[in-house]
Amino acid sequence: MKTYQLLVFFLVVLLVYFVGNAYIFIKGYNAIPILKEHKSLYAVIFLSLALTFIFAKILESRHSTIFSDSLNIIGGFWMGFMVYGFFFFLISDIAGLILRFTSVINVHNLTDYRKWSFIVTISLSFILITGGFINAIIPKVREYNVTIPKKTEGIDNLKVAAVSDIHLGSIIRKRSMKKLSAILAGVKPDAVFLLGDIIDGEMGPVLRGDLLQYFKVPVTKDGLYAITGNHEFIGGAKRTIPYIESKGIRVLKDEMVILPGGIQLIGRIDRDSKRFYQKDRTPLEIVMKDVDHTYPVILLDHQPVNLNEAVKNGVDLQLSGHTHNGQFWPLNYFTKAIFEVSYGYIKKGNTQIIVSSGFGIWGPRIRSASRSEILLINISFTGN
């Protein structure tokens, strides 16, 4: 990404973050009389909480410590509150305008309306954040049964465990890796595929605890493969990819490998390689130039975009992640509008596509729109 584009992006993000926090600050100030009596104290506490996430990221980029991890956690929860506070306060303001227009609210009960708007907003935000935290820390195994009507050499079934969006870093750490490893050991897959965003961003929190060492994959007859996600490039691909590969994980970079039975597995570099490194990934038709279409073709592509490309090139099964299924309600409605499939299963032509909501999180450890999950895909081959 060019320097000026990066600068514009961060300025827009900071502006949105500032406006959201300023709006919540004003709503709280107007709703609770005691805050007006202690205006300076309220401003200091609010500003400290609002700046925690930003300060944590600055510290993390310079020197990762347990302190910066703690600030990331606190700042993440505050970010969750900012999203919901802004959303519910905005709804209450719109409702308030309508009620004032119809004379239901007047100068005599306006203060009470503001107070109850504040109480309801805080309560709903707390419920959604608490439920979202539980969703984020208790992953489920999401199972799919898929049939590919093609031949293999002596294999009728393949059990694949696929994990997207781990986001190892200051929040997803050793305990999460041990939990993921235990789940994989329990499902006993034939192959494990990591669908990108293994690393969250800055490598400091990962290297400080060598977090990927706690990812223990059970012995699989068909191996362990990974692809890059956009966050591998955000964190600096020259650092993130070698680190992942140092743990014995084969990262497929616009290349194909042949699994036992003649199953063809293709892994693509994430499309954001161009945005961060000004380097286009290899077109799919070139990556697939040696494919034998009488045998199954499985494609790993982090972002579920341009799905027609997979259909056109005769892919049988595509596995993706990236969307988190919105992670935050109601952001899942935005991801549904942006992506042809933001979560779950669809079939286009002869291509079957599965998009995972992911194992980890970005930002707050909150999943109010989805569950943390591991995909278990039972593939049957019926062309033998």
In tens, the pLDDT along 205-217 reads 999 999 999 999 8
Is the preceding omega at residue 330 within 30 degrees of 0, hence cis? yes
- In this predicted structure, what is the pLDDT of residue 167? 96
Both 48 and 103 in one domain: the answer is yes
Q: Determine the Cα–Cα distance for residues 208 and 190; give it in Å rounded to an integer.
A: 32
Both 213 and 126 in one domain: the answer is no
Domain edge (last residue) among 119, 136, 153: 136
CA angle 203, 161, 216 (to 5 degrees): 50
- Who's near 181: CB < 8 A, 6+ residues apart? 214, 215, 216, 217
Domain edge (last residue) among 136, 171, 195: 136
Domain total in the chain: 2
Q: Determine the Cα–Cα distance for residues 92 and 200; give it in Å rounded to an integer.
A: 35
Q: Determine the Cα–Cα distance for residues 51 and 94; give it in Å rounded to an integer.
A: 28
Both 84 and 203 in one domain: the answer is no
Structure tokens at 180: 């993921």
Bridge pairing between strands 255-259 and 344-348? unpaired
- In this predicted structure, what is the pLDDT of residue 164? 98
- In this predicted structure, what is the pLDDT of residue 4? 60
- Low-confidence spans in the chain with pLDDT less than 70: 1-6, 9-10, 384
Per-residue three-class SS string for the chain: CCHHHHHHHHHHHHHHHHHHHHHHHHHHHHHCHHHHHCHHHHHHHHHHHHHHHHHHHHHHHHCCCHHHHHHHHHHHHHHHHHHHHHHHHHHHHHHHHHHHHCCCCCCCCHHHHHHHHHHHHHHHHHHHHHHHHHHHHCCEEEEEEEEECCCCCCCCEEEEEEECCCCECCCECHHHHHHHHHHHHHHCCCEEEECCCCECCCCHHHHHHCHHHHCCCCCCCCCEEECCCHHHHHCCHHHHHHHHHCCCCEECCCEEEEECCCEEEEECCCCCHHHHHCCCCCCHHHHCCCCCCCCCEEEECCCCCCHHHHHHCCCCEEEECCCHHHCCCCHHHHHHHHCCCCCEEEEECCEEEEECCCCCCCCCCCCCCCCCEEEEEEEEECCC
Structure tokens at 342: 């933001």
Q: Determine the Cα–Cα distance for residues 276 and 291; give it in Å rounded to an integer.
A: 30
Q: What is the pTM (predicted TM-score) of this model?
A: 0.91
Over residues 286-313, the pLDDT tens digits come to 999 999 999 999 999 999 999 999 999 9
Both 99 and 179 in one domain: the answer is no
Both 254 and 283 in one domain: the answer is yes
Both 259 and 244 in one domain: the answer is yes
Both 210 and 129 in one domain: the answer is no
Q: Determine the Cα–Cα distance for residues 249 and 217; give it in Å rounded to an integer.
A: 10
Q: Determine the Cα–Cα distance for residues 152 and 155; give it in Å rounded to an integer.
A: 6
Both 110 and 185 in one domain: the answer is no
Q: Determine the Cα–Cα distance for residues 19 and 280; give it in Å rounded to an integer.
A: 36
Question: Mean pLDDT for the chain?
Answer: 92
Q: b/e for 255-282, b at 16 or more Cβ within 10 A?
A: ebeebebbbbbbbbbbbbbebbeeeebe
Both 234 and 179 in one domain: the answer is yes
Q: Write the CATH number for 313.
A: 3.60.21.10
**Cβ neighbours around 384 below 10 Å, total:** 11
Both 147 and 251 in one domain: the answer is yes
Structure tokens at 306: 């341009």
For the chain, the straight-line distance linking the first and the last C-alpha, in angstroms and rounded, comes to: 47
Domain that holds residue 19: 3-136
Both 66 and 180 in one domain: the answer is no
- In this predicted structure, what is the pLDDT of residue 384? 67
Q: Determine the Cα–Cα distance for residues 255 and 145; give it in Å rounded to an integer.
A: 26
Domain edge (last residue) among 103, 119, 136: 136
Both 122 and 171 in one domain: the answer is no
Structure tokens at 58: 């600055």
